[in-house]
Amino acid sequence: MPTGRYFLRNHAFFCLNESFCFILDVKADQYFCIDILEFRLIAPHLHGWSNDRFMKVDNVLEGTPEAALASDLVSRGILSADAIDCKPARPVTLPQATNTLKRVRHRSGLARRSSLGTAFLKAAVRTTWRLKRSTLESTIASVVQRKTAACGSGNIPFDVESAGELVAFFDTLRLAFPRNYVCLFDSLALVDFLSQYRLFPTWVFGVCPEPFEAHCWVQAGDTLLNDTVEQTSAFIPIMTV
């Protein structure tokens, strides 16, 4: 039987720093935060919580000041009083990025360049359509479904050498695509492009605490595919896809 009084909904993700708990609600496509002192009062009552920073307790929240916060999170759809469509309350784990992918530029033949151009155009158009017509929740679900269908329960080894060549082509072709550079579009388009070559990196969402800023990037292990270590080090990962 679950020991938690409350359960984290599948579409909710969170991360912590010394001052705040940041929450990403994918269903609502919204970020918000609560004070870490308030979060630490309800954390021991969350199913799956195992962070030693906050002592576990067995009493329920009823009649306590923190019950109002828990009730508010339930009304927002972040927490639930039952386990349906929920998951253990654990922050995301991700290898710390220490490298940036080395682009490898090869002289490819006309057929190869044409094939890459077609793959890029498919990715860019699909991404444009998704960001205009679909919700963030359904977009993420499609990426997860595609990766699961290709990888099953295991992981396909990530070919860094192939990725270096493909990302170099992606960067070159991206210059000609008429859309402003935005992390959400560029990361999703890159994930789509690489999936056509059976490469499935991790799409990472992160937050910068003060001043608050949200960002996303693409990463494979400890290697960044479309960002720099200096840039991403300012962000706390909150969700990986």
The per-residue pLDDT for range 159-209, each reduced to its tens digit, is: 999 999 999 999 999 999 999 999 999 999 999 999 999 999 999 999 999
Instruction: Give the span between the Cα atoms of 190 and 29, in whole angstroms.
Output: 21
Query: 105 and 144, same structural domain?
Result: yes
| Residues 118 and 211 occupy one common structural domain | yes
Mean pLDDT, to the nearest integer, of 22-51?
A: 93
- Structural domain tally of the chain? 2
Range of the domain at 21: 7-87
Looking at the structure, tell me whether residues 51 and 121 fall in a common domain.
no
Does 64 or 7 have the greater pLDDT score?
7
The pLDDT mean for the chain works out to 90
Mean pLDDT of 202-230: 96
Q: Which residues contact 198 (CB under 8 A, 6 or more apart)?
A: 150, 156
Q: Which of 87, 117, 136 is the C-terminal boundary of a domain? A: 87
Last residue of a domain, one of 87, 114, 134: 87
- Residue 53: the pLDDT is 57
- Check whether residue 69 and residue 155 sit in a common domain: no
103 and 222 share a domain?
Answer: yes
Same domain, 198 and 110: yes
Residue 2 lies in a domain: no
- In-domain check, residue 61: yes
pLDDT for the residue 66: 73
Q: Is the omega angle on the peptide bond into residue 2 within 30 degrees of 0, that is, cis?
A: no
Share of the chain above pLDDT 70, in %: 91
Compute the average pLDDT of residues 40-45.
91
Whether 152 and 64 map to the same domain: the answer is no
Q: Looking at the structure, do residues 46 and 156 belong to the same domain, yes or no?
A: no
Q: Is residue 92 in a domain?
A: no
Measured between alpha carbons, how far is 157 from 208 in angstroms, rounded to an integer?
30
pLDDT digits (tens, 9 = 90+) for 67-122: 889 999 999 999 999 999 999 999 999 999 999 999 988 777 777 889 999 999 99
Identify whether 76 is part of a domain.
yes
Domain-embedded: residue 93: no
Three-state DSSP at 147 gives: helix
Question: Rounded CA gap, 130 and 200, in Å?
Answer: 19
1 lies in a domain? Answer: no
CA dihedral 7, 9, 10, 14 (to 10 degrees): -90
**What integer pLDDT is reported at residue 55 of this predicted model?**
47
| Residues 73, 133 within the same domain | no
Residues 45 and 134 in one domain: no
What pLDDT is attached to residue 54? Answer: 56
pLDDT in the model for residue 158: 92
What integer pLDDT is reported at residue 153 of this predicted model?
66
Integer Cα distance of 12 and 5 in angstroms? 17
Residue 157 located in a structural domain? yes
- In this predicted structure, what is the pLDDT of residue 67? 82
- Whether pLDDT at 38 is above 60: yes
Where among 38, 64, 87 does a domain terminate?
Answer: 87
Same domain, 19 and 112: no
Residues 129 and 77 in one domain: no
Whether the Cβ atoms of residue 15 and residue 215 lie closer than 8 Å to each other: no
Phi, psi torsion values for 188, nearest 5 degrees:
-65, -40
